Amino acid sequence: MIRERFAPSPTGLLHLGHAYSALMAWDAVRANNGKFLLRIEDIDLPRCKPEFEQAIYQDLEWLGLSWPTPVMRQSMRLAAYDSALQKLIDLGLCYPCKCTRKDIAQAMSAPQEGVDVGPDGPIYPQTCKGRPMSEYSATDAIRLDMEKAVSTIKGHLSYTEIGGVYPETIRVKPETLVSYCGDIVLARKDMGTSYHLSVVVDDADQNITHVTRGQDLASATPIHRQLQALLNLSTPTYRHHKLIRDENGKRLAKRDDARAIRSYRENGVTPQGIREMVGLGLNLIQ
């Protein structure tokens, strides 16, 4: 059975890009007699608001989507993420990092350093690499030693893409993980986990078979495939779709309230109108 999920963060109102992802996943599930799941990614507690979470439910229901309850909420799953993190620590693949964003920015501006940018922004300059986990304190983040991580995996990693935007089989190159992704954060000091770690744990625990999301996250998928291999987790099939952009070609963001689903609802646009606006046409599956 196909199992898709839509996993928004309640840090703002859903916009047309979210509608596109959710509806595309919903249509795939309905066409294949599968299951659609909703997950609330609320690990960034200071930015997540109850009113935005309620708006997610209201907007998706208005669009005609439904899902099983109770809904998985990441803020209730910190023990699961901690267990996965401990496995990576036990493998000797982690180190504590005391660097602030300001520290990293200063290191990246040094003449001898490059300014390469990866999925998480500037590639971490490995300032704290080599620190033992015995030095870890509550003020530290925890990073993955990517060079050690890729050397742990025997053979080649790959994953399957559908949808026609990318080749059907994507090979994960170790050198790309090291040079382009770098030593990613597995646990931020203020939340005990990270998007990369939590998303692979959640997808596995929910038995997700297909992940539909924007192509802005395609660059993070090799990281997720690496973590799946290290943690012996299942790998879904991915569909990274085109992004919905405004009339100037700019990618939509939650701060763009004019493109919020709620705004269209209040202005009399119908769910079918939203479908047509994002290019999905008629909903032929009732």
At 188-235, the pLDDT tens digits run 998 899 999 999 999 999 999 999 999 999 999 999 999 999 999 999
Per DSSP, the three-state class of 211 is strand
Summarize the confidence of residues 23-31 as an average pLDDT: 96
- What the chain holds in terms of domains, given with CATH numbers, is 1-76+256-286 (3.40.50.620), 78-242 (3.40.50.620)
Preceding peptide of 70 cis, ω within 30° = yes
Residue 226's Cβ-count burial label (10 Å; 0-12, 13-18, 19+) is buried
Please tell me the predicted confidence (pLDDT) of residue 108. 74
pLDDT tens sequence across 116-163:
788 988 899 999 999 999 999 999 999 999 999 999 998 899 999 999
Torsion of CA 119, 125, 130, 132, to 10 degrees: -60
pLDDT band of residue 105 (cuts 50, 70, 90) is confident
Please tell me the predicted confidence (pLDDT) of residue 257. 64
pLDDT band of residue 275 (cuts 50, 70, 90) is very high
Residue 200's Cβ-count burial label (10 Å; 0-12, 13-18, 19+) is buried
Q: Do 261 and 56 form a contact (C-beta atoms < 8 A)? A: no
Per DSSP, the three-state class of 97 is strand
The residue ranges of DSSP E strands in the chain, in sequence order, are 3-6, 35-40, 72-73, 94-97, 117-118, 121-122, 141-144, 157-160, 169-172, 185-187, 210-214, 237-241
**Does residue 177 carry a pLDDT above 90?**
yes
**Does residue 251 carry a pLDDT above 80?**
no
Q: Do 238 and 231 form a contact (C-beta atoms < 8 A)? A: no
pLDDT band of residue 252 (cuts 50, 70, 90) is low
CA distance 74 to 72: 7
Please tell me the predicted confidence (pLDDT) of residue 286. 32
pLDDT tens sequence across 43-90:
999 999 999 999 999 999 999 999 999 999 999 999 999 999 999 999
